[in-house]
Amino acid sequence: MLFLPQLIKLKPLAAIINKSGHGELLVLLGILIPFGGAWLFSSVGLKPDLGALILGILLSGHPKAKELSNAMLSFKDMFLVGFFLTIGLSGLPNLETLGISIIFIIALPIKVMLFYWLLTRFKLRARTGTLSSLNLANYSEFGLIVGAAGIANGWISSEWMVVFALALSISFIIASPLNIHAQALYTRWQKRLVVFESKKHLPEDEPIELGEAEVLVLGMGRTGTEVYNVMKNKYKQLVLGIDSSMSTIKNHLSDDLNVIHGDVTDIEFWQRVKPNSRIRLLILATSNHSTHMQVINGLEKMNQKIMVASLSRYSDEMEELKQAGVEVVFNLYAEAGLGYAEHIFQSFNQSVNNEK
């Protein structure tokens, strides 16, 4: 047990992960690592699942940890389906279990209202509280895990697992359409919901000052950062980057980039922008098509007359953006190929000139 952190410190597993590539070997390694941790802890009389958990935590800081997590995601889904199947085989629903599960479903509106009240007490805005509350409306599948543990320890009877499964399934059926139309529901009930907001807001919810910026770049990832740099060479300090990730904002601020934190898909973002804004161009530089469409719809509702340029990955998305009024639409893959070819051409010309 005490020797394990030293093994990680010497990074033997990190070296193996680095050499595992990006395909099947990485997936195989993702299966072997938790089993290895479980065996190690079991051999010294500790719980094996604790060993798998600790080994995963120790490797979480590895550069390929996220890639490994994504590679193992399908296995997680498969095991989750298997878990649900075992629950389904544990018993069949009857009128009694259905009636008890309906009682749990009746409590859903109370749950949503309590979440909304709690979130607004923590100075979150009405929109954030509404979307978060609706997102938390359904019962969690972790309740089934707790229920399974209760049955295994003899705390509750197996019939309760059927009740939990029914309540969970029905809550998902109800919550799904609510989350799909959450933004529309908030827009409809906005005036009544804002009454419950706290008088004091969080710093990120204060009025937004865009300064002298004339160009906004939404999405400061790799593509957005390159767009920002090119536009900055043209407009100097009149370019402003916006991103919803605080970690991304902090990284760019350390590089002296002119960026702010904000969610442009939020219609209240534009309401919080000070009216003396000089914005002429909005560049949508994310890879999320639904985000782009939400921004465009938000601009239309706020009657913001701004020229919009957008990136897109597929031809049908490009057509939808054009129909929505986007003046300039670029295909992400085509533009990447164009930039790659231009880079090769410049390097080749330089090599030829050096030979001369």
pLDDT band at 10 (very low <50, low <70, confident <90, very high): very low
189 CB neighbour count, 10 Å cutoff: 12
| Exposure string over 199-237, b if 16+ CB within 10 A, otherwise e | eeeeeebeebebeebbbbbbbbeebbbebbeebbeeeee
High-pLDDT (> 90) share of the chain, %: 9
Query: What is the residue-averaged pLDDT of the chain?
Result: 80
The full 3-state SS of 197-238, as one line of letters, equals: CCCCCCHHHCCECCCCCCEEEECCCHHHHHHHHHHHHHHHHH
Average pLDDT over residues 153-179: 88
In the chain, what is the greatest distance between 2 CA atoms, to the nearest angstrom? 89
The residue type found at 238 is L
**What integer pLDDT is reported at residue 145 of this predicted model?**
82
Residues 6+ apart with CB under 8 A from 3: none
**What integer pLDDT is reported at residue 51 of this predicted model?**
84
Most confident of 12-16, 68-72, 258-262: 258-262
135 CB neighbour count, 10 Å cutoff: 14
Cα–Cα distance for residue pair 78/82, rounded to 1 Å: 6
Tokens describing residue 277: 């804004």
Most confident of 122-136, 196-210, 298-312: 122-136
Residue of 17 and 97 predicted with greater confidence = 97
pLDDT band at 11 (very low <50, low <70, confident <90, very high): low
The residue type found at 61 is G
- CA 18 from centroid of its chain's CA atoms: 26
Which residues pair with residue 331 across a beta bridge? 312
**What integer pLDDT is reported at residue 174 of this predicted model?**
92
Alpha helices in 60-94 (DSSP H): 65-89
pTM above 0.75, yes or no: no
The string of DSSP letters for 32-51 reads HHHHHHHHHHHHTTS-HHHH
**What integer pLDDT is reported at residue 104 of this predicted model?**
92
Tokens describing residue 348: 């080749």
**What integer pLDDT is reported at residue 105 of this predicted model?**
93
Residue of 106 and 351 predicted with greater confidence = 106
Contact 208, 262 (CB under 8 A): yes
pLDDT band at 171 (very low <50, low <70, confident <90, very high): very high
High-pLDDT (> 70) share of the chain, %: 84
297 CB neighbour count, 10 Å cutoff: 14
Domains of the chain are 3-86 (no CATH), 91-196 (no CATH), 207-346 (3.40.50.720)
Determine which of 99-113, 204-218, 278-292, 316-330 has the lowest per-residue pLDDT on average: 204-218
**What integer pLDDT is reported at residue 186 of this predicted model?**
85
Cα–Cα distance for residue pair 255/322, rounded to 1 Å: 34
Is pLDDT of 351 > 70? no
Average pLDDT over residues 4-13: 56
Q: Please give the sequence-ordered ranges of beta strands (E in DSSP) within 285-356, or none if there are none.
A: 307-312, 328-331
- Inter-CA distances, 302 with 122, 186, 268, 297, 298, Å: 28, 15, 9, 9, 6
Is pLDDT of 109 > 90? yes
Is pLDDT of 111 > 50? yes
pLDDT band at 102 (very low <50, low <70, confident <90, very high): very high
Tokens describing residue 106: 């009746």
- Going by C-alpha positions, the residue among 184, 88, 91, 200 that lies closest to residue 134 is 184
Determine which of 92-96, 100-104, 166-170, 295-299 has the lowest per-residue pLDDT on average: 295-299
Average pLDDT over residues 240-266: 85
Is pLDDT of 339 > 70? no
